[in-house]
Chain A
Amino acid sequence: MLVYLGKRLVYTIPIVIGVSIVCFMLVHIAPGDPLVSVLPPDASEQLKIQMMAAYGFDRPYYEQFFKWCLRAIQGDLGTSIATGRSVTGEVLNAVRNTLLLAVVATFIGFFFGLLFGFVAGYFRNSAIDKIASILSVIGVSVPHYWLGMVLVIVFAAQLNWLPPTGAGPGGSSEWRPDWAHIRHLILPAVTMSVIPMGIVARTIRALVADILSQDFVPALRAKGLSELGIFGHVVKNAAPTALAVMGLQLGYLLGGSILIETVFSWPGTGFLLNAAIFQRDLPLLQGTILVLALFFVMLNLIVDVVQTAIDPRIQRS
């Protein structure tokens, strides 16, 4: 197991290097002026040159890249051009807020996804299966920003039950687990949970149906095992794939959602990315993308390791 873990860790190194190159190049290839947030369009050419030099954008790309990498390794992702604040601080704050949202959305999404998936798979072709399948298809198909807007119109603008924007009455820095703050979390979390719910439900349904058609199930029944016992075996067999899907979905949720966080003005990584893109704040954009990409790499690593621990066949292969 330790050898496997070591190997997987080594494999992540080229991935991380690749990710850092791609995210550095992507933001530089995009058209536009990196100083747009601190230099109005009507600034003189002379001032523009002075500012380019001050921010180091007059240096060759490779030099900028190596300097950025060197600082990133030390945990310093640079300074936001637009705000002058530390990118590392900005990203960590945003990650904390997205984490809060993602954990709640994950709980809702996975709970209902697993419930619908197992029920539909176990009672396939029944009325329960059809209802659960319809719900999961809706979850996958509905554009979540549209759903978010509808929820805002109904529950905030019309009924006035829940607040439509923000992380709480005093901002995220004062977040506490009380009703005044939790009510800010409900609409974005429900909106965010819909897609993973649909994906998890559909995957689990297909998986359960497949497992139930395998030979060992009639064998277990023939041995006189109870339905609950058989269900336990089904769950155990479905667990590695379910884990992989859930890990991937959790990765997506932790990455935040530009659309959902913008619709709800939730100060997470998606909201931060949106601001960075519109302000063409390159250090912030690079830093946020890098951290989110590393999240994916890390989550995939964790899922792979947990999968291997659960299912020894993976390690052997």
Chain B
Amino acid sequence: MWFRFRPAVLAGAIALAGTLLASGSVIAQEKVLRIGMTAADIPRTHGQPDQGFEGNRFTGIPMYDALVHWDLSKGDAASVIIPGLATEWAVSPTDPTKWIFKLRPGVKFHDGSAFNADAVVWNVQKVLDQSAPHFDQSQVGVTVSRMPNLVSARKIDDLTVELTTRAPDSFIPINLTNLFMASPAHWQKLLGEVPASVADPKARAAAAWTAFAANPSGTGPFRGVRLVPRERFEMVANKGYWDPARTPKIDRVVLLPLPEANARTAALLAGQVDWIEAPAPDAVQQITSRGFKMYQNAQPHVWPWQFSFREGSPWLDRRVRHAANLCINRDELKQLLNGQMEVPRGTYPPGHPWWGNPSFEIKYDLAAAKRLMTEAGFSAARPITVKILTSASGSGQMQPIVMNEWLQQALKECFFNVELEVGEWNQVFTNWREGAGSAGARGASATNVTFAAMDPFFGMIRFVTRQTNPPASNNWGFFNSDEFDQLAATARSTFDNAGRDRALAALHKRIVEEAPFLWVAHDVGPRAMSARVSGVVQPRSWFIDIAPMDIRPGS
């Protein structure tokens, strides 16, 4: 009989089936995390991402390391800087414009080449040295603006570099979180592959950077493998990553640009992605009821009214500024926004190294607010009129019209007559640099432009010094005093970490006490994820670390 039972054949068949099943399950069990971003395009992948902090979050931090990292491992404490590719750093004791960075040994780029001092010098040159063959103008804007005082880098030995600044600047280590290390060897190899028909050295360099973006090489926990412009970007795990705590458990990450909030939400609900940024606010209940998890945490983001201090401004009296800050019940606003905001106590929250424990407490105290207004000479019969320049939408603006109309109502209780001047976002934004009193301000006595506050310059100094008055920077209201100039200068020239943080805390304390802002909300960076995703820590940061996360296979 041809089908006579033969144990050997059966064993062979079982083994074959087992092998096939095993190979099938290996394929099926590739752990893939699909992320729906708010960006309309894949942020640039060559090491200096665009698309704001979403770019750093998804194509910067996962693929590249900087000399200094943000600590993204805690959800219940401020995100502070920690060693990255540099293990330690210090300012030169003889010249405060020179910094010495000691580099981490044994780190390799994805292409196998070594990370060393030459690589750091090369990466500084890519944005600062116009004579360098690999200088790339398109990377300058997003990088140099974040480290305005850095001038050059010099190799001391293989694992030591010296960075030079234009003036003494204690913020340099914080700034360097924005300079990601791309592989010089890989770029050089791609330059060699540019067709000889491209003769112009600048065009050859640009072509090499374009090739680098499609085939990137950093030192990060993920390695970029596939770019479909405007549609998807795929990264795979770098199992040889230097930090065991951040060696990825996920095999592949797929980034999809889904700029429309409802489309992102639908993609999550339909199982097309496992994670979406900023879900449609009114879909949160549906998302959680379908078993997805919501994550949010206070970000270093401020949604303010920034007051004018020009002659005739209604905000010149500190009692009026304090009254406005005491008059609004921010918990009520939080409810209005479906919980998608954090109540601020200043630019930085208590517990942050730069908090400083101000004597003026930002809270809801209607009686105190009314008393202050009465003392300042205002009443229901004699209200104060303030005009606010805002936009109908815009990056980081949350829901500006809804929020401003709520403020308009709330402040009426304290004798404020609020007039809203709604402009186009780009115009309002441009006016931030023109200042109060300019034609673009349209007679407003406060402007409503939100800002990121991770860096002390961008979170505080640019709003309170004479040096940063328009058009140099964003001290829109011309909030000027010797005291604040001195506080800022002290912070900038205090080089030990603890001393610098104390100086920044002193500055923040005085900012809150003088109240050049009405602090209304912090954004919370809401994101929704499949319950299959584990190990998620949403830090108090604009960023999030994908590397320690895991995902259970399935759909």
Contact = CB atoms under 8 A, between A and B. Distances in A.
Interface of A: 30-33, 35-45, 47, 50-51, 54-55, 81-85, 90, 93-94, 149, 152-153, 156-157, 160, 163-167, 170-173, 262-265, 267, 271-272, 274-275, 278-280
Contacts of A170: 228, 232
Contacts of A35: 141
Contacts, number: 155
Given A83-B229, A274-B40, A262 B260 contact: yes
11 contacts: A32-B426, A39-B141, A44-B472, A47-B140, A83-B229, A90-B229, A156-B272, A165-B256, A166-B256, A263-B263, A274-B40
Given A40-B145, A47-B145, A164 B432 contact: no
B503 interface: no
Contacts of A165: 36, 256, 258, 263, 266-267, 272
A161 to B, nearest CB: 9
Given A42-B473, A265-B257, A280-B426, A271 B142 contact: no
Given A31-B426, A160-B270, A38 B473 contact: no
A41 B425 CA distance: 12
B148 interface: yes
Interface in B216-275: 228-232, 256-260, 262-263, 265-267, 269-272
B56 to A, nearest CB: 11
Contact of B426 (A33, A94, A167): A33
A156 B44 contact: no
Among A42, A163, A272, the most chain B Cβ lie within 10 Å of the Cβ of A42
B41 interface: yes
A33 B40 CA distance: 18
A37 B51 CA distance: 7
Given A31-B430, A157-B266, A274 B259 contact: yes
Given A84-B210, A164-B267, A171-B232, A41 B432 contact: yes
A190 B61 CA distance: 40
Contacts of A264: 263
Interface of A is mostly: loop
Given A35-B141, A54-B140, 20 more contacts: A31-B427, A32-B429, A33-B430, A37-B50, A41-B429, A42-B474, A43-B145, A82-B50, A84-B206, A84-B209, A84-B210, A85-B210, A94-B230, A157-B270, A160-B270, A164-B263, A167-B231, A173-B231, A265-B258, A272-B230
Contact of A263 (B138, B260, B427): B260
Nearest to A81: B138
Contacts of B425: 32
Nearest to A162: B270
A40 B142 contact: yes
A155 B210 CA distance: 39
Nearest to B452: A42
Contacts of B270: 156-157, 160, 163-164
B176 to A, nearest CB: 16
B144 interface: yes
A93 B229 contact: yes
Nearest to B260: A262
A149 B272 CA distance: 16
A176 to B, nearest CB: 14
A164 B458 CA distance: 39
Contact of A171 (B41, B231, B266, B269): B231
B145 A39 contact: yes
B213 interface: yes
Nearest to B46: A84
Contacts of B141: 35, 38-40, 43, 47, 51
Among B52, B231, B433, the most chain A Cβ lie within 10 Å of the Cβ of B231
A38 B142 contact: yes
Given A40-B145, A51-B140, A32 B427 contact: yes
Interface residues of B, number: 53
Contacts of A41: 429, 432-433, 474
Given A33-B430, A44-B145, A153 B266 contact: yes
Contacts of A83: 41, 44, 229
Contacts of B262: 149, 152, 263
Contacts of A164: 263, 266-267, 270, 272
B206 A42 contact: no
Contacts of B424: 31-32
B231 A275 contact: no
B69 interface: no
A267 B259 contact: no
Contacts of A152: 262-263, 266
B272 to A, nearest CB: 5
B370 interface: no
A265 B474 contact: no
A165 B36 CA distance: 10
B137 interface: yes
B206 A173 contact: no
Among B148, B266, B426, B474, the most chain A Cβ lie within 10 Å of the Cβ of B266
A231 B440 CA distance: 65
A21 to B, nearest CB: 23
Contact of A40 (B138, B146, B259): B146
Nearest to A173: B228
Nearest to B470: A45
Contacts of B462: 42
A43 B429 CA distance: 13
Among A47, A157, A170, A272, the most chain B Cβ lie within 10 Å of the Cβ of A157
A170 B231 CA distance: 9
A84 B260 contact: no
Contacts of B232: 166, 170-171
A36 B426 contact: yes
Contacts of B144: 43, 47
Contacts of B281: none
A263 to B, nearest CB: 6
Contacts of B265: 157
B112 interface: no
A114 to B, nearest CB: 32
Interface string B287-329: 0000000000000000000000000000000000000000000
Contacts of B474: 41-42
Contacts of A50: 140
Nearest to A280: B426
Contacts of B41: 82-83, 275, 279
A50 B206 CA distance: 18
A79 to B, nearest CB: 8
B40 A271 contact: yes
A272 B140 CA distance: 24
A262 B269 contact: no
B211 to A, nearest CB: 11
A308 B154 CA distance: 73
Contacts of A267: 230-231
A262 to B, nearest CB: 5
A57 to B, nearest CB: 13
Contacts of B269: 156-157
Contact of B40 (A84, A160, A173, A278): A278
